[in-house]
Structure 1
Amino acid sequence: MRKLVVNTFLTLDGVMQAPGGPGEDDDNGFAHGGWSFNYWDDKMGEVMGAAMGRPFDLVLGRRTYDIFAAYWPKAPEEAGGKPLNDATKYVASRSRPALEWRNSVLIEGDVAEGVAALKQGDGPELQVHGSGNLIQTLMRHDLVDEYRLWVFPVVIGAGKRLFAEGTIPSGLKLVDSTVSTTGVVMGTYVPAGEIPLGSFALA
């Protein structure tokens, strides 16, 4: 079975909207696009390089696909350019867009069923980048095997969140972590079943 991994940049208050730059996603008047940019350091580059150094394919929502497709084919020499361009891109969309970035495939029919079928097939791990709406669907159907969450020391207050309203309560287990020189906490988590409840109240 292929592992499905969610890769997400988050603020301390859980916002994942438009980390890369202004205009990336202005929905609901979001005015803080690019909040991740000035925190980047060599350690983050090393961690990202290791993740990109293993074979992978992509599962992307339409908006993230369009952002990637507008940039990466024109930047093949940049770090991450070759693996992203070489990967097969499985795209979730309610319409039938022209997918012109090479190795792009539309997920036909129900997205959750389509991704579940991909996981059952042969091939490298499936990575999800950005794609907030798609991730909500994948989480509701228990299709995520691993979360690689980069939490930045910034608070925004409003915006699209990874764990949005309606997220199914569950536990996570931290299996790896490192911290950048700029305070970005890079953690890898796997699902750990139901939340283990308890009480500090005296019996």
Structure 2
Amino acid sequence: MREVVLYHLMSLDGVAYEEPGDWLADEGDHLIDCLGQVIATQDDVLLGRGTYDYWVGHWPVSDFEPFATFINSVRKHVVTSSELTSTWTNTVVAHAPAVDYVTDLKQRPGGDIGVHGSLHLARSLMGAGLIDRMRLVVAPAVVGQGRRVFEAEDVVRSWTLSGVEQGRSGTLFLDYVRR
């Protein structure tokens, strides 16, 4: 069965890195290498509607590699209840409820299924027990304000740390698998 892999950048206090800011330390090649490892195994990506609408205006013209080439060519499954107003190569609209859609997608042949951004969708899949692995990049900063990757109402799950690296600025690259 395919794995659903949540990849997220966050602060020590769990604030999601959604917009460029000064609190994510520059880890240079280490950050790029980590991202490259994560996306190398993915051939489908799940996006919420808000992330899709934001990314469709950015990534098709971006030169930030390796993510630009990856996200522009990978199958993108957009969980939404309405029709998309902008088109992007290899985009599929997931009209079924997210849990049903992802449960079915996991049964199909293929590589990992990535969840990048899309906090609401990520939390919904986490609550349903559909996230199999978390690849978290934790910046050495306490931000205080902002949307969080995990919220108080998220279902408690047990995870096993399967890998950890530390960047030169203190950023942690954590790999967790679901127990």
Under a length normalisation based on structure 2, what TM-score does the superposition of the two structures give? Answer: 0.91
Which residue does the alignment assign to 1:44? Answer: 31
1:118 maps to: 105
User: Which one of the candidate residues 29, 49, 65 is aligned to 1:78?
Assistant: 65
Q: Which residue of 2 aligns with 1:10?
A: 10
User: In 2, distance between residues paired with 1:128 and 1:46?
Assistant: 18
Q: Could you tell me which amino acid in structure 1 is paired with residue 112 of structure 2?
A: E
Which residues of 2 match residues 107-146 of structure 1 at below 5 A? 107-146=94-133
2:74 counterpart residue number: 87
Give the one of 59, 84, 92 matched to 1:105: 92
Change (3 A) 1:124 1:98: farther
1:185 maps to amino acid: L
Q: Confirm or deny: 8 A CA contact 1:58 1:88 kept in the other structure.
A: yes
Asked whether the 8 Å contact 2:24–2:141 carries over to 1, the reply is: no
Task: State the structure with more CA Rg.
Answer: 1
Paired positions, count? 179
Higher relative contact order (CA 8 A, sep 6+): 2
> CA offset at residue 176 of structure 1?
0.9
Q: Give, in whole Å, the separation in 2 of the partners of 1:75 and 1:125.
A: 24
Q: Does 1:191 align with 2:153?
A: no
Deviations 1:14-50 (A, max 9, x none): 11152x32xxxxxxxxxxxx24554232211222222
> Is the CA contact (8 Å cut-off) linking 1:92 and 1:111 kept in structure 2?
yes
State the partner residue of 2:168. 181
* RMSD over aligned Cα atoms: 1.7
Flag as ranges the 4+ runs of structure 1 deviating above 3 A.
Answer: 35-38
Q: Which runs of 5+ in 1 are unaligned?
A: 22-33, 193-203
The answer to whether structure 1 residue 60 and structure 2 residue 54 are counterparts is no
1:150–1:187 contact (8 Å) kept in structure 2: yes
- Distance, in Å, in 2 between the alignment partners of 1:96 and 1:178 is 41
Counting only pairs closer than 5 Å after superposition, residues 159-174 of structure 1 correspond to structure 2 as 159-174=146-161
Q: More strand per residue: 1 or 2?
A: 2
Residue 39 of structure 2 contacts residue 114 of structure 2 at CA under 8 Å; is this kept in 1?
A: no
